[in-house]
Amino acid sequence: MTKMVQDNENKEIITGSDFKRMVQGAYSEFLLEFENINVLDHTLRPGHRSLPGTNILRTMGAAVLPLNDSMDDSIGGLARRAASAALLGARGNAGVVLSQIFRGLAKGLLGKYNATSSEFGKAFQYGILYAQRVLPEEPERPIITAAKAVAKGAYQAVRANLPISEILAAALDAGERPAGGSRDVGEEIMLAFLRGCLKGLDGNFVSPSLSFSVGSKAQSSLLPDPRQDRVQPYCLTFVVMNTKAEEAEVEKHLQETSSYVVVERYQQELYVHLHTDNPGAVLDRSIGWGPLRDIRLNNMAEPHAMTVVHSSLMPVALVAIADTPQRAEKLQNGGAAMIVAGNGDETPSVGALVNAAHSDLAASYVMVPNGPGLRLVLQQAKRILGDRVEIVTVQSEAEQLMALRGFDSKLSAKKNAARMMWLLNDK
């Protein structure tokens, strides 16, 4: 971080390295606090199945992983990578809200190699605004109450052209309640995020690199394996011309750097569709098989980026969420074409739902959860996927099965969703 003072005016410059340390600091803070957040949630809401501390830690893990090996050192580029990973890696309601903060930061820092304190402070306010928009209903959620408070504190500090450390400190101070006041889970999450960012900026945090070393004796048995949260945000499709390479060989080779790899042959050409976090490495591996054409790259975290390589197998399909193999089998017997694993303790990420809809199985999808706890995750998936996906909200597993009975493969996704909701409301 560079700071130059001239005529009493703050000329501080925030670099990509500063941003990276802030994100690492936030991850490190959640490593220390996620179990306390889980305990607080269970204390305030006995019987609540979700683990918000774990969800927020895994969302932060998804955001920080792509920064470790990025070749781009611009603050705008790193912010965009963190945002894409957080949007797809978001788990639980709090994870979705946090991912929107990253989205707003990336919006405010777009195209910048470095940023001034004022520019970064304004980008941070963008993030708070995006977080507020994701939860517009009343009564206001505690995490949004905290977000508004810290935004107000940050606004005054930005107006005063203070250094970024003082902007974060002002935001943190504004979010703190008076001594003796109790805080909700959402408020604790927001304040832990700010504390971590401030510690990261100052370099005053325990490096999270230990947690990336899987198998370390220092790792808690409850600590999620961060490798499971690595996001593959780029949908890459291309055609290999005039090749004798076998589909199975190409698919096996590409699976080393990608997920969801589909390779199909049409005469002398191979059509490739995959998801990856390093499209350059994929293309570098592929050029030896023959000339490449029709290369298309989409960031799946961006709205309406969904593409289909060629014709789908069916016009519309059901995607259901199941918490056990037995439940998955029952849902498949009930008409679900795809199953996404998830429950209160192990909630599916937004990316898991987006990946399901990015397959070539169907042109459109109807998604049916197994309860109300995934509402924001499903809404974020819907924002990304647009009209290709419709969501049917249910309150229980019994309602999930009831909704499946209303599915008709001859109807569009929109008409199916309306029919299934009518069936639930008329029960």
**The domain that contains 344 carries what CATH number?**
3.40.50.510
Please tell me the predicted confidence (pLDDT) of residue 115: 94
186, two tokens = 């959402």
Please tell me the predicted confidence (pLDDT) of residue 173: 87
With respect to residue 61, please indicate whether it lies within any of the assigned structural domains. yes
With respect to residue 112, please indicate whether it lies within any of the assigned structural domains. yes
CA distances from 370 to 322, 373, 374, 402 (A): 7, 8, 8, 11
Are residues 244 and 149 part of one domain? no
Are residues 168 and 80 part of one domain? yes
Per the structure, the count of domains in the chain is 3
**Residue 3 CB contacts under 8 Å (≥ 6 apart), including other chains:** 10, 11, 12, 13, 163
Q: Are 233 and 260 in contact (CB under 8 A)?
A: no
AA identity, residue 306: M
Are residues 85 and 190 part of one domain? yes
d(CA 384, CA 373): 19
With respect to residue 220, please indicate whether it lies within any of the assigned structural domains. no
DSSP 120-178: HHHHHHHHHHHHHHT--SSSPPHHHHHHHHHHHHHHHHHHTT--HHHHHHHHHHHHPPP
With respect to residue 388, please indicate whether it lies within any of the assigned structural domains. yes
CA distances from 204 to 81, 107, 201, 229 (A): 24, 27, 8, 25
Are residues 264 and 172 part of one domain? no
Please tell me the predicted confidence (pLDDT) of residue 6: 45
Are residues 255 and 124 part of one domain? no
Q: Strand pairing of 314-322 and 362-368? A: parallel
Are residues 383 and 251 part of one domain? no
- Give the residue from 368, 353, 371 showing the smallest Cα distance to 403: 368
Q: Are 47 and 197 in contact (CB under 8 A)?
A: no
345, two tokens = 């303790």
With respect to residue 308, please indicate whether it lies within any of the assigned structural domains. no
With respect to residue 368, please indicate whether it lies within any of the assigned structural domains. yes
CATH of the domain at 256: 3.30.70.3100
Which of 175, 210, 245 terminates a domain? The answer is: 210
With respect to residue 225, please indicate whether it lies within any of the assigned structural domains. no
Angle among Cα 314, 317, 320 to the nearest 5 degrees reads: 155
d(CA 387, CA 298): 17
Are residues 189 and 255 part of one domain? no
Question: Domain range for residue 139?
Answer: 5-210
pLDDT tens for 109-122 read: 999 999 998 899 88
- Give the residue from 247, 279, 282, 287 showing the smallest Cα distance to 265: 247
Give the chain's residues under pLDDT 50: 4-8, 178-180, 210, 213-221, 308-309
Mean pLDDT computed over every residue of the chain: 85
Name residue, tokens 């945000």: 233
Are residues 187 and 67 part of one domain? yes
d(CA 372, CA 394): 6
Please tell me the predicted confidence (pLDDT) of residue 186: 86
Are residues 12 and 153 part of one domain? yes
Are residues 249 and 181 part of one domain? no
**Residue 256 CB contacts under 8 Å (≥ 6 apart), including other chains:** none
Are residues 141 and 82 part of one domain? yes
Please tell me the predicted confidence (pLDDT) of residue 337: 92
Q: Strand pairing of 314-322 and 338-341? A: parallel
